Amino acid sequence: MPMLMNPSPDNELYQARSFLRIGHCIYCPNMDRKPLSDEHIVPYSLGGVDILRAASCTDCSKITSYLEGYCGRFVFNEYRYIAGSPSYRQRPSTLPIHVWRQAKASKLYLPHPISIPVEDYPHELSLPHLPLPGIINDLPPQASYSRSMQMSRWKFPGRVGEMYTPITPGPFRNEFKADVFARELAKIAHSAAVATHGLSKLNWLLPDIILGKQKDHLPYLIGSDQIAYRPSPNALHQIIFWLKRRKDDGLVVAQIRLYANLQSTNNIGTPIYVVAVATAPLS
């Protein structure tokens, strides 16, 4: 198995750039649709600041907005506020929560809504461990992720427990949608690769997966590194590219680490996701 954090000398490392004007939708480049909107590489709601100018048509924007919304509201949720994402201008200073409070007359403990400072809010971040993408080891395509997915959890008890007994630590979480999360990783990898390489040079693997048109290749192209790493204190999000040389071509692979700086009690950082982005002729 390749050591993804230690690419061998014949793997070329790339670093994502930003603020390019593309002038075509990066998800359906042959449709020549206008108007085009700007596209964040990492979602703005997660603190992403790198933008591709004029890079997404209206139809594709609706789909990627859904993917970003799922990640923002259901995966990272309140952690976005605690992390203090630099671009999150509407960051609230308080968050609502229900606590048990004793009623004066009956002495019964009843649910009571209060607002507490963001720093005191109890929450939990859960991120999935996906298998390594099959394409990395030349395994045959797999149709879907396992239902019993291993999740890493980071608990942030906050300080509300010192004063109250909280009932609901946040909005109700539905079952984790690994496919939607993986498609958002694909979107981040694809847009970062376009920023680095331009739109036309490579044979792109991900647009139909991002748009939901191809549903049976997600574990083949999108997964996780299988090793746990320490946090990277100086980085909010990290995207690194490397080239895996194959017999007839090269495979452009992205490593994505969201909230790379997350500090936890056991000093294990967030997972590093591995996404096969494109193939390229070897020169």
Residues that bind Zn ion (CB under 5 A): 25, 27-28, 57, 60
**Which C-beta is closer to Zn ion: that of 60 or that of 75?**
60
* Shortest spacing between CB 27 and Zn ion, in angstroms: 5
Q: What angle do CA 235, 237, 243 make, to 5 degrees?
A: 105
Q: For residues 131 and 129, give the distance between their C-alpha atoms in angstroms, rounded to a whole number.
A: 7
**Which C-beta is closer to Zn ion: that of 28 or that of 132?**
28
* Shortest spacing between CB 192 and Zn ion, in angstroms: 17
* Shortest spacing between CB 252 and Zn ion, in angstroms: 21
**Which C-beta is closer to Zn ion: that of 27 or that of 81?**
27
Nearest-CA neighbor of 25 among 210, 275, 218?
Answer: 210
* Shortest spacing between CB 202 and Zn ion, in angstroms: 18
**Which C-beta is closer to Zn ion: that of 25 or that of 206?**
25
* Shortest spacing between CB 203 and Zn ion, in angstroms: 18
Instruction: Name the residue with tokens 């030349």.
Output: 138
* Shortest spacing between CB 55 and Zn ion, in angstroms: 9
Output the CA torsion 160→162→165→170 (10° steps): 20
**Which C-beta is closer to Zn ion: that of 40 or that of 257?**
40
**Which C-beta is closer to Zn ion: that of 57 or that of 252?**
57
**Which C-beta is closer to Zn ion: that of 57 or that of 99?**
57
